[in-house]
A and B are shown apart, each in its own frame.
Chain A
């Protein structure tokens, strides 16, 4: 609570108007509460929802900095698309049950994380106070012409960054083709997964290996998928 009070005091001191200070403190509290919720919640779905709260608070902060475009993108892309994808994955994998937070899977994970978090916070604070550590390029983003930043962004996309903008299209196509090529399994043939046993399992009988036989094309669609992971996945919700 003292940390929150400090932030509130700082916000009132630096933001002259009361509205700004109020908006800042509310959204900052949302951001922090959401961030804590993400790591504290026992249910992964709740964690994802808490993440939305954090991202929404950050979007309000962007608005406060007079950047409506970033705020909108923050909500649409992060809260809208990315977290929804998180939720999809959580639901698909069937891990929407409570995790035991007491067990450490990695030895020494918690103390390390606390030390690292403290170190990065200290680093940020030092960099903030030291000040003259950059080259001092004035107006990195160019002088403020008063034009709305959506317009500026659109203009630079089609002028300065025309080639990178078009190249991004190529990148997206390749990502899609790559994903399809990876997911695609050529049918009609018997496939052997993990056909080469490592040096640890030399006596493995060839017949006992995991042999996947895809169903004949056009055949039994109603066949039960009998992967070993599917049995206990669907009953969590």
Chain B
């Protein structure tokens, strides 16, 4: 037996640069504070207070990120806390983007939670925790930290997906997400273990150093490790062979959570993917680039083509987010400074657009997130022209129409790929953008089409929601619920004849205006304005993304 009591050597603790993790600390601290408050108060904490705390925490984290930005510009990029945390423009951009997305989501969720009658602060606590996980992923410089960030992000999201207790689909979505997500996390962890075996470290900088110094003769273990890591990442960003979960989960989850998933989870996963592969495994590019190529091409095509057939808007947005993941993967495939900056620009603009889009969907869907069918949007332009206009702008932005941020985003990633001679992929991307434009425009046209063109007679669908019958708080939304059959899990391909069972015109008229809470108005307005203003004057945003890349280690 060795001497257990021997060698009482002193431990030299690593230097901790607290500013480098300040946004993460603020975000996590906000979650703990709200948790403490809600457990100390004798009565249930009101949703408004929770939202206020969440928004203030997000604002504080964003301010801390701006302080970081100045510091990084002045002092240059570095790693801290024993090399586990990267402190560069790339990480700061994520520290800024994620709180922004969280703040917007919290404002949308405020109206949603009040409408659904969900009380307590757990929703906001978990949302803040999840956001802190994404921020950890953005700053991670060690595969173990990446994994921990991934798990913090995902575990909170599993619960958020199940948050609507009264909706069976919500629980089903959460279970599906949890089971598949756990498997993908396990695969990712296996990849980390193999990477440690192959390079002798989980630290990204040390891995890069090891690989740069040696001529790799037999790289079986390394290839296996990269493959497993890619599977884990591809699942989280829902790239195509690993995308099966996302339509069901996006459809079943509460709408604000779907928007959060599409934005924050994707941002965190892409940040880590870019850092691990483009920066740390740059020397092994020939090993992973073909895989990224295939993932990107499949995501672009499958996402766009399958979305054409969807009759449920949330499901369509899920496939559209798969399509967007394909576009961002173009930037990863380019794997140079231009590719990274274009991917970051895409992430920023997409995050804002998708949160805004899901905010509108949250409002339209009404109680229990029922009314998410495409036909619910018919005649929206007449009932609520401003809402319809905002949604049209956001959808056009996602389609990549000129004078929106989406145009330059798509242009940049395609340009980055063309400059690295990926002509085939660029052509695929352009074809997919054209196909995708069709289904975005279909929603827009549905909104602006006059009511009552289709439909033969009154539907005899029974009212489906006893809770809504007993007495809904919002009569407009409730009557909408009663008229429309839920296309929940049957979204499997009804063609054009689906239009035949459209609700008759007078019922649609009777649905009236959907109530839009003021906080949601703020979010929708912000997202639409952001999309248009930076679409017309993109210089600051492009500049930001490029500077974030220059400091990339």
Q: Which residues of A contact B (CB under 8 A)?
A: 66, 68, 132-135, 137-140, 146-148, 150-151, 155, 158-164, 167-168, 170-171, 173-175, 177-178, 180-182, 184-186, 189-199, 202, 206-207, 209, 211
Interface size class, chain B: 35 or more
Contact A195 B2, CB 8 Å, known A155-B11, A174-B155, A177-B126: no
The reply to whether B152 and A195 contact each other, CB–CB distance below 8 Å, is no
Contact A147-B35, Cβ < 8 Å, known A186-B120, A189-B117: no
Q: Does B32 contact A (CB under 8 A)?
A: yes
What is the distance, in angstroms, from B222's C-beta to the closest C-beta of chain A? 6
Contact B14–A159 (Cβ < 8 Å): yes
B7 and A195 contacting across the interface, CB-CB below 8 Å: no
> Is A174 a contact partner of B156 (Cβ separation < 8 A)?
yes
Q: How far is the CB of B386 from chain A (nearest CB, A)?
A: 31
The winner among A180, A202, A209 for most chain B CB atoms within 10 A is A202
Q: Are B196 and A164 in contact (CB under 8 A)?
A: no
Can you show 18 pairs from A to B with CB atoms below 8 A apart?
A: A135-B219, A137-B197, A137-B210, A140-B196, A159-B13, A162-B81, A162-B82, A163-B142, A170-B129, A182-B162, A184-B120, A190-B470, A192-B166, A195-B166, A195-B467, A196-B169, A197-B464, A199-B490
Say whether B368 faces chain A, with CB atoms less than 8 Å apart.
yes
B216 touches A206 (CB 8 A): no
Chain A residues with Cβ under 8 A from B149's Cβ?
167
Distance between A125 CB and nearest chain B CB, rounded to angstroms: 16
Report the minimum CB–CB distance from B276 to chain A (whole Å).
15
State A68–B1 Cα separation when bound (angstroms). Answer: 9
* Bound Cα distance from A150 to B169, whole angstroms: 48
Q: Are A206 and B122 in contact (CB under 8 A)?
A: no
Contact A164 B144 (CB under 8 A): yes
The CA of A128 and the CA of B129, in the complex, are separated in Å by: 43
Contact A158 B466, CB 8 Å, known A133-B220, A137-B210: no
Contact pick for A162, options B3, B13, B122, B169, CB 8 Å:
B13
Known: A135-B216, A147-B6, A164-B148. A198 touches B82 (CB 8 A): no
* Residue in contact with B466 in the complex, picked from A168, A199, A206, CB distance below 8 Å: A206
Query: How far is the CB of A97 from the nearest CB of chain B, in Å?
Result: 27
Closest CB in chain A relative to B341 CB, distance in Å: 27
- On whether the beta carbons of B84 and A170 are closer than 8 Å, the reply is no
CA distance A171 to B126 in the complex (A): 11
B200 touches A140 (CB 8 A): yes
CB of A196 within 8 A of CB of B486, answer yes
Whether B4 is near chain A, meaning CB under 8 Å from some CB there, is yes
Q: Across the interface, which residues of B come within 8 angstroms of A155, CB to CB?
A: 9, 11
Beta-carbon contacts under 8 Å, B1-38 to A: 1-4, 6-7, 9, 11-14, 16, 21, 28, 32, 35
**Does B214 reach chain A (CB closer than 8 Å)?**
yes
Interface check B125, CB cutoff 8 A: yes
Q: Which of A68, A137, A148, A195 contacts B198 (CB 8 A)?
A: A137
Cβ of B218 < 8 Å from any Cβ of A?
Answer: yes
Also in contact, A140 and B84, with CB within 8 A (given A178-B156, A178-B158, A196-B167): no
B168 within 8 Å of A (CB atoms): yes
Chain B: CB-nearest residue to A137: B200
- The listed residue with most B CB atoms (<10 A of its CB), out of A139, A160, A199, is A160
* Chain B interface (Cβ < 8 Å from any Cβ of A): 1-4, 6-7, 9, 11-14, 16, 21, 28, 32, 35, 81-85, 117-120, 122-123, 125-126, 129-130, 132-133, 136, 142, 144-145, 148-149, 151-152, 155-156, 158-159, 162-163, 165-169, 196-200, 210, 214, 216, 218-222, 368, 370, 462-467, 469-470, 485-486, 488-490
Query: Which B residues are in CB contact (< 8 Å) with A132?
Result: 218
Residues of A within 8 A of B198 (CB): 134-135, 137
B220 and A134 form a contact (CB under 8 A): yes
Q: A66-B2, A167-B136, A186-B118 are in contact. Are A191 and B489 (CB under 8 A)?
A: no
A206 touching B199, Cβ below 8 Å: no
Query: Is the CB–CB distance between A135 and B81 below 8 Å?
Result: no
Tell me whether B119 and A186 are in contact (CB under 8 A): yes
Assembly CA distance A181 to B216 (angstroms): 49
When the two chains form their complex, are residues B467 and A184 in contact, meaning their CB atoms are under 8 A apart? Answer: no
Residue in contact with A163 in the complex, picked from B9, B85, B200, B221, CB distance below 8 Å: B85
User: Contact at B166–A191, with CB atoms within 8 Å?
Assistant: yes
Q: Are A193 and B159 in contact (CB under 8 A)?
A: no
Is B11 within 8 A of A167, CB to CB? no
Q: Which of A159, A161, A195, A202 contacts B11 (CB 8 A)?
A: A159
B82 touches A163 (CB 8 A): yes
What residue of chain A has the Cβ atom nearest to residue B141's Cβ? A163
A177 lies within 8 A of B464 (CB): no
Q: Residue of A at shortest CB range from B35?
A: A177
A195 touches B466 (CB 8 A): yes
**Is A161 touching B199 in the complex (CB atoms < 8 A)?**
no
B167 pairs with A164, CB closer than 8 A: no
Q: Report chain B residues within 8 Å CB of A135.
A: 198-199, 210, 214, 216, 218-219, 221-222
Give A173 to B130 CA distance when docked, in angstroms.
12
A167 and B221 contacting across the interface, CB-CB below 8 Å: no
Q: A141 — nearest CB in chain B belongs to which residue?
A: B200
In the bound complex, do residue B467 and residue A199 qualify as a contact, i.e. CB atoms below 8 Å apart? no
Instruction: Determine if B145 and A140 form an interchain contact, defined as CB atoms under 8 angstroms apart.
Output: no
How far, in angstroms, from A132 to B217 measured CA to CA in the complex? 10
Q: B220, A167: Cβ atoms under 8 Å?
A: no
Q: In the bound complex, what is the Cα–Cα distance between A196 and B372 (angstroms)?
A: 14
CA distance in complex: A199, B486 (Å):
9
Question: Which residues of chain B have C-beta atoms less than 8 A from A186's C-beta?
Answer: 117-120, 165
- A197 — which chain B residues lie within 8 A by C-beta? 464
